[in-house]
């Protein structure tokens, strides 16, 4: 199986700051990855490179078989579904939820065509059903709650049937009920063999959906642990990555963490 993500010694510098330091990472199509690390560790930067939105300063990054720097990123990006706060900020407040999702079929924000294919409309409807937002289809984005917006954003990211799905802190700002609903939907996607490869950035081990298979811990721009989730999610690895003594417990397929000193 070809790797969806292949990073070889990827480094990123901005001025004198080294944001990423020789990151090696391989992700396959059937894997669901979690990136964890404390504030400023480099998670968003890593995700930006995986999304073809930023180039490494050194090293090589291949995404969906294409090497950044040698591929037209405007052809690569439509193959990648992205959900991030930055992208959400670009969605017009007056756009109806259904159109926020539908416009992803044409890689735009803001509705510009009056006609969509039946197949696109059916897919948007399926996604709204999956994320239980079909009742919000005619509501404008600006009036939706944070949890409702998150579900619209992920539906949008999946609309163009991407080969890689990147989710940057999808649970941020959600209340407990909304978070659990979102995690249940992400679990359903993670367990579906037809789903694309998924990379999810989070700060909280409690927010790792069931069905995720691999983890990458990042500390000060370098990978501190990587591999199968069960092997990565140890108290020792998490304590090292977050720089404090943590105890990780597991309840079924969910994790929790607390500091021991």
By CB under 6 A, name the binding residues for ligand ATP. 14-15, 17, 19, 37, 39-45, 203
**Residues, the chain:** 261
Smallest gap from Cβ 19 to ligand ATP, in A, equals 4
Closest to ligand ATP by CB, 41 vs 144, is: 41
- Tokens describing residue 235: 């108290």
Closest to ligand ATP by CB, 48 vs 109, is: 48
Smallest gap from Cβ 121 to ligand ATP, in A, equals 35
Nearest to 116 by CA among 131, 106, 129: 106
b/e per residue, 24-36, with b = 16+ CB within 10 A? ebebebebbbbbb
Sequence-distant contacts of 248-252: CB under 8 A, at least 24 apart: 248/205, 252/210
CA distance 248 to 73: 39
Smallest gap from Cβ 199 to ligand ATP, in A, equals 13
Closest to ligand ATP by CB, 17 vs 251, is: 17
Closest to ligand ATP by CB, 172 vs 178, is: 172
- Tokens describing residue 14: 């901005």
CA distance 50 to 64: 9
Closest to ligand ATP by CB, 40 vs 227, is: 40
Smallest gap from Cβ 42 to ligand ATP, in A, equals 4
- Tokens describing residue 255: 């994790």
Smallest gap from Cβ 169 to ligand ATP, in A, equals 7
């Amino acid at each position: 199986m070809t790797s969806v993500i292949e990073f070889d010694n990827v480094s990123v510098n901005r001025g004198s700051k080294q944001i990423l330091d020789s990151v090696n990472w391989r992700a396959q199509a059937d894997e669901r990855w979690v990136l964890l690390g404390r504030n400023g560790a480099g998670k968003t930067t890593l995700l930006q490179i995986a999304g073809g939105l930023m180039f490494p300063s050194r090293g090589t990054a291949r995404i969906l078989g294409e090497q950044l720097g040698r591929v037209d990123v405007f052809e690569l990006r439509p193959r990648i579904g992205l959900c991030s706060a930055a992208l959400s900020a670009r969605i017009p407040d007056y756009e109806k939820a259904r159109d926020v999702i539908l416009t992803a079929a044409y890689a735009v924000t803001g509705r510009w065509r009056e006609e969509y294919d039946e197949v696109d409309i059916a897919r948007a409807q399926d996604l709204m059903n999956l994320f239980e937002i079909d009742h919000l289809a005619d509501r404008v984005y600006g009036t939706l709650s944070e949890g409702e917006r998150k579900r619209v954003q992920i539906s949008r990211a999946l609309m163009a049937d991407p080969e890689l799905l990147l989710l940057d802190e999808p649970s941020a700002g959600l209340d407990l009920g909304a978070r659990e609903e979102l995690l249940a939907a992400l679990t359903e996607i993670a367990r579906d063999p037809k789903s694309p490869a998924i990379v999810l950035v989070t700060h909280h081990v409690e927010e790792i959906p069931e069905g995720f298979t691999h983890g990458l811990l990042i500390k000060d721009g370098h990978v501190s642990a990587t591999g199968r989730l069960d092997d990565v999610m140890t108290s020792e690895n998490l304590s090292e990555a977050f720089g404090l003594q943590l105890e990780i417990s597991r309840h079924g397929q969910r994790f929790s963490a607390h500091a021991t000193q």
